Amino acid sequence: VFTATIGERSALMRERIVAGLEDLGLTLDQGKNQAVPDPVGDEPVWLQAPDSRAKIVVLASAEARQMLLILGRLHCLPSGVGA
């Protein structure tokens, strides 16, 4: 699973990371990897080649939203913020 800024936006980094995992059966489809949209959007982007033994996916992250949710649960936000 690739996410966050590097995982979502860097085809080169995804390629380098998966290249080290080929012995585990992960195979990246280079065309799909290069075609990942920026921004990724709400739908997962599947990058595995047909012969890959595992799925490879890019997911959009919502770090700011997640931080607001956590802070809201901890009661660290003013009323109405992060709702």
Mean pLDDT of 39-64: 91
The pTM score is 0.75
Q: In whole numbers, what is the pLDDT of the chain averaged over residues?
A: 88
Between residues 43 and 63, the one the model is more confident about: 43
Mean pLDDT of 44-66: 91
What is the C-alpha separation between 23 and 11, in angstroms, rounded?
Answer: 20
pLDDT at residue 82 greater than cutoff 60: no
What contacts 34, CB < 8 A, 6 or more positions away?
A: 11
Angle at 32 between CA 55 and CA 18, to 5 degrees: 50
The share of the chain scoring above pLDDT 90, in percent, equals 58
Alpha helices in 20-82 (DSSP H): 30-34, 63-73
